[in-house]
Structure 1
Amino acid sequence: MHSLITALDQMVDPTLAEMGKNLNEAMKMLEDSQSFVVVFNVWCFFFPHWFTSGQDMVSILQLVQNLMHGEEEEESSQACRLQNVGEQGHMALLGHSLAAYISILDKERLRKLTTRILSDTTLWLCRLFRYENGSAYYHEDDREGLLKICRLVIHTCYEDYTVEGFNVLCTKQPVIYISSAARTGLGQALCNQLGLPLSCMCHVPCNTMFGSQHQMDVALLDRLIKDDVECGKLPLLLVANAGTPGAGHTDKLGRLKELCEQYKMWLHVEGVNLATLALGYVSSSVLAATKCDSMTLTLGSWLGLPAVPAVTLYKHEDPSLSLAAGLTSSQPVEKLRALPLWLSLQYLGHDGIVERIKHASQLHFIFVKVEDELSSPVVVFKFFQNLIGVSDCEVTSVHSFTCASSLQLGEQLAQLVPASGIDVVELEDEGTCVRFSPLMTSAVLGTEIQDVDQLVDCLKMKIPVLTSTLQLREEFEQEVRRTVGLLYIEDLSWPGLGIVRYIFHDGKNDDNQEKELEKINTELLKKLNELESDLTFSLGPEFGGQKNCIYIGMVTEDLDVLELVETIAATGREIEENSRLLENMTEVVRKGIQEAQLQLQKANEERLLEEGLLRQIPVVGSVLNWFSPFQASPKGRTFNLTAGSLESTESTYVSKAQGTGTTPPPTPTSSLTKQRHSGQKIFKRGFRNSDAFSETSSVSHCDDLEKMAQRPPTLSPGQEQRPLETLKRELPKEVPQATNKDTEDIQSSESPNDCTNERFVFLYT
């Protein structure tokens, strides 16, 4: 930016220098989100006053900044910040200001300047992307170039279209062929803008037997064209892909070009792989795009240039038809669209442009460790589960889990390594996948090699978690279904261990109990999150279909599923019992108050009978009590919460033990509080075999003793180990002895998980 300021200072035109400095200051103010911290609502409240009185540049830029960041700036200073576009980005932004300034020049000077800018930019792009003798159309919407090309082809194929209009299309209906792997809604958008029925759009399926699943089926396209010709239709244009929007695959452009020449069709190519045409070595599949009739380039994302137009290069000999189609304009101001790109290309130079594209391609090779001619700069992968040995009823469940896991994996990777540009795509056959497209994101985000290395490390860390979660899902479902008080919720779209809901023991969930269940499950979720474990418990997705449930996230292979399920059930029962105890206590207290009122009324009646009527008269009663005091034993009542009854305090007064009291019983220890080693978290395998036994275990007390006997106890010097039968004989008679059938080794069922069937599969490398 310092070089830009120096260049502005050396300018002769003071207006141009002032404009450049103002732009520089404005960008500094907008990029520094800490410069102005003003509440958005306050600015909006005073905005009508500003509009009438006028404001200076600083105040206006403050308003713009608050409109961009909003109130989120108060919560997080890093939440909304402008992209660090760099100096080349400032050159592109400066081009828009220069275009507005140049537009006020006189017509002759404006014509010369725009002609020079347009011719230079077109020449540079044609040489850079190996497209000889081409013309260029600059447009903001990347679909607009294809739209103008379609109009050009219609004008070319229908000679009377300029005069007759759509009437000439009735003689021979035009047909536009587009791949089924193209951008969503592209065909419908073309028909709407051209005024054509949707029947004029033919979607060509991709290969299903041979080759890539995202390449256009050339043989099927040939049959479709022949059928349309026999029906009296006119094949007009074919839209091919050099990098499909989803998977980044390239169609067989060489064979498609031959087919278009055979039927005199126009071939248009678009896609991210066209960026590799600027490199020294280009794969033959992409190099065939240089022979097409037109191509659309999106240089903004490839080079990290903000607000630069897309470019459609085309070859046509009749300039009048290009003018009629809107590809060229007689207005010099419209030619200034190329000015931001003209400035950026000059700033980067040929070497700078090639270096940026080459850097993005190297990031792809570092990620997949594969470099050959068929390699695409777009990497699409997903979590893969080998379905060998899996029953047919489980195939759908496994496929849904892999798609949900891939979605969560992509979101987590995007958060962990934001500079990688990882995103999630939906493919027709593969479902949800994760995509890494450095050509589209590396220049914008500034992706470096260390970011890719960090992305690989994160993937290696996530693979075991995804594998173990998938393997433990079935065990978790079985344990929940056999546990009383828990209900397993089937949701194939949840990528975690599973979903569980606590229900009442009687299994009745009517409308009256729904609110109580909601309270219990909410409190249960709170209790589980307070545990010292590596698991994540949540209420599930915001717009999920299941309510009042506990969603358990990803787990590791050392998870003790049985302990987890038992803890959930025990905690739910504890919450339910406490809730019912509170309700019962409320009822007991209410009845106790009513009984106390009755006893007080009865005690008053008895006191009247004992004292007599004369003692109730105010003056007479005082004199009588003075001559003959009435001796009454002290009586009182105390309410016992444990028994729920009123008791007399006479024994207390007799024994005079008001201050002695008894020691309260010890508070029972919660079933969730267990003795474990330092640093050891709950729900880990091996923890169940420690000296601390779970109170929620379904194994009886006798079984626990038998397991203790199976382990070698710690013996003091001179003490010998006693066999199991001796321990059984020493048990109390009221405790049933455990049988060999009830005893089993827990560790025998905890064999290590087999992770050989799970891996990440790359859909295209």
Structure 2
Amino acid sequence: MVKFSSLVSLHLLCSGQDVGTILHLVHNLIHDEEEEEDKRMQHVGEQGHMALLGHSLAAYISVLDRERLRKLTTRILSDTTLWLCRLFRYENGSAYFHEDERDGLVKVCRLVINARYEEYASEGYSVLSSRQPVIYQSASGRPGLGQHLCSQLGLPLSSLCTVPCNTIFGSQHQMDVALLDKLIKEDVEAGKLPLLLIANAGTPGAGHTDKLARLKDLCDQYSMWLHVEGVNLATLALGQVTSAIMAASRSDSMTLTPGQWLGLPAVTAVTLYRHEDPAMSLAAGLTSSQPVAKLRALPLWLSLQYLGHSGIVQKIRHATALVILTFYLSVLINHSIDLGEELLQLVPTSGLDVVELEDEGTCVRFSPLLTAAVLGTQEENVEDLMEKLSELVPVMCSTMCLRQDFKEETHRRSPSLRYIEELSWPGLGAVRYEPQAEGIDESRRKQELEKINSELLRKLQDLDTDIIFSTGPEFGTEEDCIFVGMVTEDVDVSELVNTVAALGRDIEESGRLLENMTEVVRKGILEAELQLQQANEEKLIEEGMLRQLPLVGSVLNWFSPFQSSIKGRTFNLAAGSLDSTETTYSTKAQPGRPSLQESPTSSSKKQPGRSLVPQTEL
């Protein structure tokens, strides 16, 4: 039977549906039983419901008469802008509300181009050829952001300059200010125009903040626009702010994401900026004369009023307190994909994430400013997280220390046991048992590998041990391997390798024995068939045609018994040979009954080749 939801997906029903039916359909789509429940679903409190209400009200308000709509939207926009500027210490700023977090920066770049190229409004992109604009970004910045800007602005990728981070002094995730100064000078000498610098108050990967004060001074020196983004901008709302973050208030623009910080669903991002010419802001798309566009601020306007100043500060302070509780968690741990996923399963409200960093590799990231308000993370959740982490990290460290020993022992102990290099595997390592078979084709060899290693994995999983053996990552490149999971420091690696190799040899030898036995049986059957055919021919010649007829033969054998010279055969499974049954009949003769050899019908009962009883039973 076709479900109603499937029916609607196939085609629109001829008759309309009532509201209750449609809402029931939406409910089923949201709570689909076939989908796995997302344990990280956003926690929607009353402030979240207020934000959702804002979207419904925006649709209702948009149908008001034009004058009333203009007054209402102007009030909403001005109130929200004023509150945000005061909350985040950005005096005399304007606000642009946008769905895509990158859209504010795109509009800011257009504003700066309009300001720096006087004839841009009339001549367009042709004026950029005289002095190519350059946008500078950090190597630790948001991935793909620079490429997106060039695409939206119609600029070549040569207009994008990625500035490396410090590698000797300071953080490895902070922009190298001295090198940036050098790059700007080179661009100026080459006839280019330094246009805009994108700095970070909390890099996407590690959460580090650039030296914003020095970067602002450098931008002022070269008449560049400074744009700041990052999660740490949320702390500007607190009573005490570090000097590194406080310098963001001097920037020319910055992008905020209050929806993430405050746990507000479907709330727009906001770009605060300072510029004195409203006409250029209008040309860049930062302001709009359409009242409906101003309604984007309505959900945030309602939510800010609901939370109030103290409620907003309390949520951000709560998230920063969680960061302090997990100070040691900021240490980046290599090869931690499984660790991050396991911690997330154990403590789903922690909001842990796994990120890839250029120098450190795969790391576990904990950023409560981004997730705490959304997931409802509390101090007890973080304490639980730290407890689980304290249990898992020692195991992971001991595993990393024993990886090389496991590799060397595998190479040393068994020629059939091959170590597989899988750098992304967080466990002890991976091995493959390869039988030393010669003279077989590739297809047969692959079948042998699959058969032996699958049986070896099953036997290892049946062992009474805390070590986990598996087939490895779901999207791994290696096949027919046994992946050894994390181990404690007391594991004897040599004994472990010997166990794996010994089980592999047992499986290989058992397979060889079965294969040889199968070949012996096959050859014995072929030989038996030949001897049966030969015996039947000899019997026909020796006894004649009449004795082969069922009734006539029995009567003839009764009146005139015939002793056949043809002997029966039995298949000796152990020796793999065909033997005579004469000994069998002579030793099996039962006392008190005539021997088979003395029976008047012995000629007919003792047919050649009729027995395949294994000789081993005698």
Superposition TM-score, scaled by structure 1 size: 0.72
1:562 equivalent to 2:494? Answer yes
Residues 652 and 658, structure 1, Cα contact 8 Å, conserved in 2: no
Q: Per the alignment, in what secondary structure is the counterpart of residue 14 of structure 2? A: helix
1:60 equivalent to 2:22? Answer yes
Distance 1:620 1:440 in 2: 100
Residues 638 and 647, structure 1, Cα contact 8 Å, conserved in 2: yes
Q: Per the alignment, in what secondary structure is the counterpart of residue 113 of structure 2? A: helix
Residues 410 and 434, structure 1, Cα contact 8 Å, conserved in 2: yes
Distance 1:222 1:619 in 2: 115
Q: Can you list the C-alpha shifts for 1:529-581, whole angstroms capped at 9, x where unaligned?
A: 22222122222223333222211111112222233222222222222222222
Q: Can you list the C-alpha shifts for 1:679-716, whole angstroms capped at 9, x where unaligned?
A: xxxxxxxxxxxxxxxxxxxxxxxxxxxxxxxxxxxxxx
The equivalent residue for 1:410 is: 340
Distance 1:80 1:208 in 2: 39
Residues 40 and 66, structure 1, Cα contact 8 Å, conserved in 2: no
Residue 187 of structure 1, CA deviation: 1.5
1:232 equivalent to 2:191? Answer yes
Residue 513 of structure 1, CA deviation: 1.9
Residues 40 and 348, structure 2, Cα contact 8 Å, conserved in 1: no
**Do the aligned partners of residues 40 and 265 (structure 1) sit closer, same or farther apart at CA in structure 2, a change above 3 Å counting?**
farther
One-letter amino acid of the structure 1 residue matched with residue 435 of structure 2: F
The equivalent residue for 2:308 is: 349
1:253 equivalent to 2:212? Answer yes
- The residue correspondences of 1:99-178 to structure 2 (distance < 5 A) are 99-178=58-137
Residues 40 and 351, structure 2, Cα contact 8 Å, conserved in 1: no
**Do the aligned partners of residues 523 and 75 (structure 1) sit closer, same or farther apart at CA in structure 2, a change above 3 Å counting?**
farther
Q: Per the alignment, in what secondary structure is the counterpart of residue 196 of structure 2? A: strand
The equivalent residue for 2:153 is: 194
One-letter amino acid of the structure 1 residue matched with residue 577 of structure 2: S
The equivalent residue for 2:605 is: none
**Do the aligned partners of residues 261 and 640 (structure 1) sit closer, same or farther apart at CA in structure 2, a change above 3 Å counting?**
same
The percent of aligned pairs where both chains have the same amino acid is 68
One-letter amino acid of the structure 1 residue matched with residue 529 of structure 2: Q
Residue 198 of structure 1, CA deviation: 2.3
Residues 218 and 256, structure 1, Cα contact 8 Å, conserved in 2: yes
The equivalent residue for 1:498 is: 429
Q: How many residue pairs end up in the alignment?
A: 593
Residues 43 and 263, structure 2, Cα contact 8 Å, conserved in 1: no
Distance 2:199 2:555 in 1: 119
Any stretches of 5+ residues in structure 1 without a counterpart?
1-38, 370-378, 384-402, 666-765
The equivalent residue for 1:681 is: none
Q: Which moved more, 1:132-141 or 1:260-269?
A: 260-269
Residue 336 of structure 1, CA deviation: 0.2
**Do the aligned partners of residues 132 and 566 (structure 1) sit closer, same or farther apart at CA in structure 2, a change above 3 Å counting?**
same
Q: Can you list the C-alpha shifts for 1:592-622, whole angstroms capped at 9, x where unaligned?
A: 2233334444554565576567756788756
- The residue correspondences of 1:347-496 to structure 2 (distance < 5 A) are 347-368=306-327, 380-383=330-333, 403=334, 405-482=335-412, 483-496=414-427
Distance 1:170 1:357 in 2: 46
Candidates 46, 52, 74, aligned match of 2:34 = 74
Residue 443 of structure 1, CA deviation: 0.7
Residues 176 and 235, structure 1, Cα contact 8 Å, conserved in 2: yes
The equivalent residue for 2:470 is: 538
Residues 181 and 246, structure 1, Cα contact 8 Å, conserved in 2: yes
The equivalent residue for 1:522 is: 454
One-letter amino acid of the structure 1 residue matched with residue 286 of structure 2: L
Residues 173 and 233, structure 1, Cα contact 8 Å, conserved in 2: yes
Distance 1:611 1:580 in 2: 45
The equivalent residue for 1:595 is: 527
The equivalent residue for 1:585 is: 517
Distance 1:624 1:206 in 2: 109
Distance 1:612 1:177 in 2: 107
Residue 507 of structure 1, CA deviation: 6.9
RMSD of Structure 2 on Structure 1 (CA):
2.9
Distance 2:194 2:536 in 1: 109
Residues 40 and 375, structure 2, Cα contact 8 Å, conserved in 1: no
Q: Per the alignment, in what secondary structure is the counterpart of residue 104 of structure 1? A: coil
One-letter amino acid of the structure 2 residue matched with residue 564 of structure 1: L
Q: Per the alignment, in what secondary structure is the counterpart of residue 127 of structure 1? A: helix
1:92 equivalent to 2:12? Answer no
Residue 502 of structure 1, CA deviation: 1.1
**Do the aligned partners of residues 411 and 100 (structure 1) sit closer, same or farther apart at CA in structure 2, a change above 3 Å counting?**
same
Distance 1:509 1:595 in 2: 26
**Do the aligned partners of residues 622 and 658 (structure 1) sit closer, same or farther apart at CA in structure 2, a change above 3 Å counting?**
closer
**Do the aligned partners of residues 212 and 538 (structure 1) sit closer, same or farther apart at CA in structure 2, a change above 3 Å counting?**
same
Any stretches of 5+ residues in structure 2 without a counterpart?
592-612
Residue 142 of structure 1, CA deviation: 0.9
Q: Per the alignment, in what secondary structure is the counterpart of residue 372 of structure 2? A: helix
One-letter amino acid of the structure 2 residue matched with residue 501 of structure 1: R
The equivalent residue for 1:337 is: 296
Residues 118 and 335, structure 1, Cα contact 8 Å, conserved in 2: yes
Residue 82 of structure 1, CA deviation: 4.9
One-letter amino acid of the structure 2 residue matched with residue 52 of structure 1: C
One-letter amino acid of the structure 1 residue matched with residue 398 of structure 2: S
One-letter amino acid of the structure 2 residue matched with residue 330 of structure 1: S
1:213 equivalent to 2:172? Answer yes
Distance 1:481 1:623 in 2: 76
Q: Per the alignment, in what secondary structure is the counterpart of residue 205 of structure 2? A: coil
One-letter amino acid of the structure 2 residue matched with residue 382 of structure 1: L
Distance 1:147 1:382 in 2: 32
Distance 2:232 2:553 in 1: 112
- The residue correspondences of 1:637-656 to structure 2 (distance < 5 A) are 637-656=569-588
Q: Per the alignment, in what secondary structure is the counterpart of residue 264 of structure 1? A: coil
